[in-house]
């Protein structure tokens, strides 16, 4: 199948009351794990590559791997740039065949974030590519931040309304208490804030930092209108732990295929579980 965009799949997810998983890929085995999971679960899927993944694997390799995987799949597949912080990098991804990009201007003042996001949307729209943007600071969120600090870091619902109206983005990533990487304690999500953002904007909402978020909180977020859920850390953990376990048990085996095949299977297991949790299984 040809690659599709966020627009093609998130509207349906919103209407159907489910979310689509956006899984980070850094290498061939993880691309395969994501695509095979989607086919076996009959689920739409978003394969995303960060700037770091592109630096590691190379832009051409990422695009070729995902396009090859998508061609053989009979479920909708989006190739999405994750956290593009550099305008030129975002443009390169569009030119090389990404069907979707995230421009992340969340570290910038609101007006600058709006003006660069608008430029990205103008170019992307002209060539049929979808755009996700971010408002609020996801990375700096810690369990012990005070209410004032939370207000400064988290997405302001009124600002979200203005941002979406001004930029015309296809999806908005919000800061509501999740964080990237491994959590120290249990994350506490600000559901009233999410509800308010959803009330004021009519755009699909994206939840980053979703690895390690308890299942019940994920389900509640989906009920309140989150329709794209980003998972990276859970896949890394499953993949690397499995490879390490194999190497411990078989210290003399030097065949990379023997080490990476179980790692890929472990990644698939977690990805398939997430698809069921998000409700996207059976929706393709």
Q: How far is the CB of 71 from ligand G3H (least distance, A)?
A: 25
Interface with ligand G3H, residue 221, by CB under 6 A? no
Q: Which of residues 181-220 bind ligand G3H (CB under 6 A)?
A: 181, 208-211
Q: How far is the CB of 180 from ligand G3H (least distance, A)?
A: 4
Shorter beta-carbon distance to ligand G3H: residue 208 or 283: 208
Measured distance CA(137)–CA(259) in Å, rounded: 37
Interface with ligand G3H, residue 233, by CB under 6 A? yes
Place of tokens 């443009």: 91
Residue 269 burial (CB < 10 Å; 0-12/13-18/19+)?
middle
Interface with ligand G3H, residue 130, by CB under 6 A? no
Give Cβ neighbours of residue 258 (< 8 Å, ≥ 6 apart): 246, 250
The entry of ligand G3H, Zn ion, none that residue 231 binds, CB within 5 to 8 Å by partner kind: ligand G3H
In order of 117, 119, 120, 193, 280, the CA distances from 198 in angstroms are: 20, 24, 23, 9, 20
Q: Residue 48: helix, strand or coil by DSSP?
A: strand
Give the footprint of Zn ion on this chain (CB under 5 A). Answer: 208
CB contact at 8 A, 176 and 206: no
Write out the two tokens for 19. 């979310």
Shorter beta-carbon distance to ligand G3H: residue 170 or 232: 232
CB contact at 8 A, 35 and 44: no
Interface with ligand G3H, residue 155, by CB under 6 A? no
Q: How far is the CB of 125 from ligand G3H (least distance, A)?
A: 23
Write out the two tokens for 255. 């065949």
Interface with ligand G3H, residue 231, by CB under 6 A? yes
Q: Which of 8, 74, 82, 86 is catalytic?
A: 82
The yes-or-no answer on residue 202 being catalytic is no
Please list the active-site residues. 82
Judged by the rule CB under 6 A, the positions of this chain that interact with ligand G3H are 24, 82-83, 180-181, 208-211, 230-234
């Amino acid at each position: 199948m040809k690659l599709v965009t966020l627009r093609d799949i998130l509207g349906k997810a919103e209407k159907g009351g489910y979310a689509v998983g956006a899984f980070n890929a850094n290498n061939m085995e993880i691309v395969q794990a994501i695509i095979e999971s989607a086919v076996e679960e009959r689920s739409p899927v978003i394969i995303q590559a960060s700037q770091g993944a592109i630096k590691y694997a190379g832009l051409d390799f990422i695009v070729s791997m995902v396009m090859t995987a998508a061609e053989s799949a009979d479920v909708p597949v989006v190739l999405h740039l994750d956290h593009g912080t550099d305008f030129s990098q975002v443009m390169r991804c569009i030119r090389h065949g990404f069907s979707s990009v995230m421009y992340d201007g969340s570290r910038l003042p609101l007006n600058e974030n709006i003006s660069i996001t608008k430029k990205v949307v103008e170019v992307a729209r002209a060539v049929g590519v979808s755009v996700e943007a971010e408002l609020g600071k996801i990375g700096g969120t810690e369990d012990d931040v005070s209410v004032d600090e939370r207000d400064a870091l988290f997405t302001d619902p009124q600002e979200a309304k203005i941002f979406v109206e001004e930029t015309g983005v296809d999806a908005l990533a919000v800061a509501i208490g999740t964080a990237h990487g491994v959590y120290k304690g249990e994350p506490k999500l600000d559901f009233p804030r999410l509800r308010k953002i959803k009330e004021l904007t009519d755009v699909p909402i994206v939840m980053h930092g979703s690895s390690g978020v308890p299942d019940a909180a994920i389900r509640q977020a989906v009920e309140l209108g989150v329709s794209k859920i980003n998972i990276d850390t859970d896949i890394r953990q499953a993949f690397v732990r499995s490879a390490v376990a194999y190497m411990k048990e078989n210290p003399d085996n030097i065949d990379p295929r023997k080490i990476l095949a179980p790692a890929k299977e472990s990644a698939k297991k977690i990805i398939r579980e997430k698809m069921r949790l998000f409700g996207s299984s059976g929706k393709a």
